[in-house]
Chains A and B, each alone.
Chain A
Amino acid sequence: MFDYNKRYIYLSTPQNGQYENVIQLVRDVLRRHNIELLTISDVDTGDDVKLSVKRLIEQSSLVIAEISDLNPNVMYEVGIGQGLNRLIMPLVRQDVKTIPVDLALFWTVIYDPSDLRQLPRLIERWLDTYLQDKREAV
């Protein structure tokens, strides 16, 4: 399940500036758990994007993906995460009616974009489940 040897989590969001607050909140909550956040902005300019994204996800124990807009880049990165057997945490705004069939079976974090203060708690609750799994496994 959650691999504690990996201190990174990859966050995938559309690159349109709409999710800057979400990115910052996720970064803050992970920092409290001593986990570093990786995003597409960690890919160096000029690098092969496909390979670099794959490398970042390989380093990560979990892929958090904001899938509300069905953004193809986000979906692509979720697919890479799944192919590499990484845990997937989909984030979905509460106004979204349907999620893609490929992600229908994941445990999704549903949040209210007009009140982002609750997002850290929802993410922590999700992570706690895996922390719990890990503690029980030890």
Chain B
Amino acid sequence: MSQKGLCFFLMPFLPHAGYFYEYLKQHIEATTDLECRRADTSNESVPIIDEIRQSIQQADVIIADCTGANANVFYELGYAHALNKPTILITADKPEHTPFDVRHLRLILLQEPERLLPHLDDALQSALAQRVSETLYAKALELFEAFRRDQDVRAEVCSLLEFAARLRGASAKADLPSVNDDARFASFVLPLIIANSSDLTVMRQIIGWVDKKTA
């Protein structure tokens, strides 16, 4: 099994889309730790749909080529949004010609080819940061529940958005510990998820709880 993250492409099955995919794949695989895969929605094969859904479920980030508003691409995009997958939308069409349901989302426009790769890099970075935040938030929530049960603490958790902002700040000052390093990881993320970050009693309880767990 590959340890790399998966960047899954939703594209219409057109010859030019193949070249475009190869171009982006080469760039993404050279500049990130992602492996690219493409959905070939060939319209003739039915079982392939299961594979596409599976790839969407596995993907860390999804890039959708919305050009021409292809029906299959939009179905798959809806499926990805239902699963809260980070998505990057690219189009060669004018933004006002993009379907209503996704028009308000950030689009990378192919009409500005020289800005394509910088925009893609930015979008990938924020999509991956969102993914990391979501994963860490879920792990922090688990830890918080265990902490609350053990300590009978009356504390609330902050929102994912607030957690992501705090995580960015904390990561700028210190390296994020590995999730396998239980004690250091808990000491790092638990204070970030407590809604009232100035509640020193809870912060002291966290330190005591982590020390007890690792003693």
Contacts and interface: CB of A to CB of B under 8 A. Distances in A.
Interface of A: 15, 48-50, 53-54, 57, 67, 70-73, 75-84, 98, 100-105
B210 to A, nearest CB: 36
A76 B82 contact: no
Interface of B: 41-46, 48-49, 52-53, 69-83, 99-105
Main secondary structure of the interface of B (DSSP, over half): helix
Nearest to B100: A73
Contacts, number: 101
Contacts of A100: 43, 71-72, 75
Contacts of B76: 79, 102
Ordered nearest first, which 9 A-B pairs have the shortest CB separation? A83-B82, A79-B78, A70-B71, A72-B69, A72-B74, A76-B78, A79-B79, A72-B99, A79-B75
Nearest to B76: A79
B104 A49 contact: yes
A70 B70 CA distance: 8
B79 A49 contact: no
A76 B105 contact: no
A100 B71 CA distance: 7
B101 A77 contact: yes
B80 A49 contact: no
A78 B73 CA distance: 12
Contacts of B70: 72
A57 B82 CA distance: 10
A82 B52 CA distance: 13
A80 B78 contact: yes
